[in-house]
């Protein structure tokens, strides 16, 4: 009730129109019209202090500082979210997209049971069976579309249902490997082992140890030979 709250704040506080408008999500001109009696006529003011939206100290702080913006009080009690019973309600405007979403779920997540699909997109077992068997009346025109993209369910709900179905089916999701890379290692190499280069830094692939003096002497000889070649070309 933003206008009812604005009526009460206009009548009972010295807050500016901008402060009231910011808290009630109204335009300052609309708050000015309420103060002049041109708007919200017949609306009874709603006390935000009694409703638990504001405290007297918060209002006084805003009255002493015109640039301060009122902050909504935190609720004293948190009401737990009620778990939905039965299939999800689908708006009429999106019901035509449900067969495409069911086809996407059936193809990309065959481990999902019918009840999980019903909870996600709000359909019936008969429709799911018809889409799986390709006996749906519109099977030729169906296109698999992500139900999250269609707005039929949230990504959180989809991930939860997929994880539950995979856990019940004993499926473990592992990243696919590129061809020729062999088997996926069970775990990554420990950081200490990957950073420890003391054992193999100086090893020669042909056996033995690298000789730094021999390497640098060969490099210097190669540079001298390259200079002589440049002089001959000149």
- Is the model's pLDDT at 197 over the cut of 60? no
The pTM for the full model equals 0.40
**pLDDT tens, residue by residue, 201-219:** 455 555 555 566 665 666 6
Proportion of the chain above pLDDT 90, given as a percent: 15
Q: CA-to-CA distance for 130 and 208, rounded, in angstroms?
A: 70
| Nearest alpha carbon to residue 54 among 74, 25, 76 | 74
- For the ranges 41-45, 86-90, 220-224, the lowest mean pLDDT is seen at 86-90
């Amino acid at each position: 009730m933003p206008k009812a709250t604005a009526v009460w704040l206009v009548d009972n506080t010295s807050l500016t129109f901008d402060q009231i408008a910011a808290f009630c999500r109204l335009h300052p001109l609309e708050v000015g019209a309420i103060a002049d009696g041109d708007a919200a006529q017949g609306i009874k003011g709603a006390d935000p202090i009694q409703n638990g939206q504001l405290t007297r100290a918060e209002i006084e702080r805003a009255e002493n500082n015109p640039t301060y913006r009122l902050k909504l009080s935190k609720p004293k009690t948190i009401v737990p979210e009620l778990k939905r019973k039965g299939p999800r309600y689908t708006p009429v405007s999106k019901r035509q997209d449900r067969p495409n979403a069911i086809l996407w779920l059936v193809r990309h997540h065959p481990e999902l049971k019918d009840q999980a699909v019903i909870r996600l997109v709000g359909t019936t077992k008969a429709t799911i069976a018809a889409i799986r068997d390709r006996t749906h009346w519109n099977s030729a025109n169906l296109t698999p579309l992500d139900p999250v993209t269609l707005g039929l369910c949230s990504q959180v709900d989809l991930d939860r249902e997929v994880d539950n179905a995979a856990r019940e089916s004993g499926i473990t999701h592992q990243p696919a490997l590129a061809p020729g890379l062999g088997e996926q290692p069970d775990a990554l190499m420990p950081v200490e082992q990957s950073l420890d280069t003391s054992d193999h830094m100086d090893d020669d692939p042909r056996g033995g140890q690298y000789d730094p003096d021999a390497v640098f002497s060969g490099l210097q000889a190669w540079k001298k030979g390259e200079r002589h070649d440049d002089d001959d070309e000149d």
